[in-house]
Chain A
Amino acid sequence: MSTILRWLDDRTGWSGPLQKIFRYPVPAHAHHNPLFSMGSLLLVLFLVQTLTGTLLAFYYDPSPEGAYGSVDYMQFTLPFGWLVRGVHHWAASAMVVIVVLHLLRTYLYGAYKKPRELTWLVGVVLLLITVTFGFTGYLLPWDQKGYWATQVGTEIAGSVPVIGGFLRGLLRGGDEMGIATLTRFYAVHMLLLPGAFMVLVLAHLALMRHHGLAPALIKRGDGPAKTVPFYPTHLAIEAGIALAVIAGLILAASQLPAPLDLRADPTDSAFVPRPDWYFLFYFQLLTYFPGNLEAIGTVAIPLFFFGSLVLLPFVDSGAERRPWRRPITSGVLLLYAAAVIVLTILGGA
């Protein structure tokens, strides 16, 4: 075995970079705090989605005539279809929860400050991609929920001033929802977004390793900060967390199967479309802006929300990182969190 590894190493020179990646010293404050494992947990969840998504693509039939039947076949006929589709469904929700925890930790620890502004910005784009995965994913079964959520979602794009009609047509691949809508959502969901996600995750990780993790908020002792090796000590903790989450996903899939509504019916007037829980706040927000004010809810507020995330490292550029010494940024965070929670509760009621 060692002869084969040496032969490969002589020809690839991989041991150097691998040593650098796996022998990286992890600061003790990050090793002992599970909030610092959210990034790698997201990577594990992305791998879970890649595996289950690839398996679903083995059988998925991307046409309005075949999509529903193929998803029904996977869910109810194929062995372990309930598990593969259930894990894919619940891991999507888990990714949203973990990405928010990851963002909250970075925000509260002021880890977006100089020199880590770009790491933060790449993370904001990754957050957007995670949400877009959800939006493009739930049209694919071509059931009532997916159909009507996409109908509403593409109409939201249509409400953008000036270019709305163009955007709606671009998303639908035509004037109405149909074959071209489904195939482009499928292509975006399983080719474009994963590709962009992988490239940006690599950039995110490279930047994180380049700058190292932000130091502890409160320095203890005078000596150099204590560290543990990334492999195996820190990775053992991360693998344990990942295992617990994967077991939780399998349990969720077995107890709460991934939903599959009735086949999409464009003539149905009784169906009340409701998005997945992570879009409920946005769904509720839209009810407050009727008529001419619609674009405020559909475009202006989301733009302001993401714009403030983008501008954060440049607006809050002081050296202070302790959240209790940054009352404005901490207050804004509480305000945003309260608004999202309240709107989600109202939207779900």
Chain B
Amino acid sequence: MADEPDHSDEAPTVGRREVLGTIGFWSATLTAGALLGGPSARFALGNSLEQDPEHWVPIGPPDKLTRDDFTRIVYEFRTKDAWREVAKEGLIYARAGTGGEVIALSAVCTHLGCNVRWRREQSRFACPCHAGFYDEQGNVISGPPPRPLRRLETRLKDGVIEVHI
């Protein structure tokens, strides 16, 4: 037994190289991943979590609206969208209230964002996408919408009605 060559310190040397290699490879790879990954994720996120700035948009003089029916109004305003100056458009329904106030409802269905239609003969708003229905106040009558239509703040400025978008 004493004549046999002693390999006791050779085998661990190979093992040590493999362990060092594994540690070296993964530390370098993970460091490089973190160096690029963190900033990349923040860049990709961009302004995704920021709210759009709010706007007061003119929709016309008060005599444009009546008490007995909703008027379909397409509004437009210019704004900066990321790097471009663009014209943004949207749809609202508005009418004069019994006390002289303005009732302005966003046309965006609170279910999945389709535009609702005003059905005068049924006195209700109908969403064409998933059969959601709202009453004249914008409250949900039936279907999947979870909330009433958004009622927009209004004001009179220089004889023109403005809605808060």
B-contacting residues of A (Cβ < 8 Å)?
48, 51-52, 55, 58-59, 61, 66, 69-70, 72-74, 77-81, 83-84, 87, 228-229, 231-237, 239-240, 242-243, 246-247, 250
Chain B residue numbers with a CB within 8 Å of A69 are 83-84
Q: CB-CB < 8 A to B35: which residues of A?
A: 243, 246-247, 250
A80-B28 contact in complex given A51-B36, A247-B35, A250-B35, C-beta closer than 8 Å: no
Q: Are B21 and A66 interface neighbours, CB within 8 A? A: no
Which DSSP category, helix, strand, loop or mixed, fits chain A's interface? helix
Question: Does any Cβ of A come within 8 Å of B53's Cβ?
Answer: no
CA distance A84 to B36 in the complex (A): 8
- Of A61, A233, A236, which one neighbours B83 at CB under 8 angstroms? A61
Contact A242 B42 (CB under 8 A): no
Closest residue to A236 on the B side, CB-wise?
A: B24
Residue in B closest to A232 when the chains form the complex, CB atoms = B21
Q: What are the nearest 8 A-B pairs in CB distance?
A: A232-B21, A236-B24, A239-B28, A73-B83, A80-B39, A69-B83, A233-B21, A236-B25
A246 to chain B: closest residue by CB:
B32
Q: Does B11 sit within 8 A of A, measured CB to CB?
A: no
**With A70-B83, A242-B32 given, is the CB distance from A55 to B40 under 8 Å?**
yes
Instruction: Check if B83 sits within 8 Å of A48, measured CB to CB.
Output: no
Give Cα A81 to B83, complex, Å.
Answer: 14
Known contacts A72-B83, A246-B32, A247-B35; A55 and B43 CB within 8 A of each other: yes
Give the nearest-CB partner of B39 in chain A: A80
Flag if B32 contacts A73 (CB, 8 Å). no
Please name all residues of chain B whose beta carbon is closer than 8 Å to the beta carbon of A66 when the two chains form the complex.
Answer: 83-84
Residue B157 is within 8 A (CB to CB) of chain A in the complex: no
Alpha-carbon gap, A69 to B84, bound state (A): 7
Q: Determine whether the beta carbon of B29 is less than 8 Å from that of A73.
A: no
Name 13 A/B residue pairs within 8 A (Cβ), A-sorted.
A59-B83, A66-B83, A70-B82, A78-B47, A83-B39, A87-B36, A231-B21, A232-B21, A235-B21, A236-B20, A240-B24, A243-B28, A250-B36
Task: Establish whether residues A59 and B28, one from each chain, have CB atoms under 8 Å apart when the complex forms.
Answer: no
Select A243's contact among B20, B31, B42, beta carbons within 8 Å.
Answer: B31
Complex CA–CA separation, A66 to B36 (angstroms): 27
8 A Cβ contacts from B1-54 to A: 17-18, 20-25, 28-29, 31-32, 35-36, 39-40, 42-44, 46-47
B25 and A59 contact, CB distance less than 8 A: no
Q: What is the bound-complex CA distance between A78 and B83, given in angstroms?
A: 11
Instruction: Quote the shortest CB–CB distance from A50 to chain B (angstroms).
Output: 11
B39 partner, pick from A61, A84, A240, A242, beta carbons under 8 A: A84
With A236-B21, A247-B35 known as contacts, the answer to whether A73 contacts B82 (CB < 8 A) is yes
Which B residues lie within 8 Å of A55 (CB)?
40, 43-44
Whether A242 contacts B83 by the Cβ 8 Å rule is: no
A78 touches B43 (CB 8 A): yes
Partner of A236 from the list B28, B36, B44, B82 (CB cut-off 8 Å) is: B28
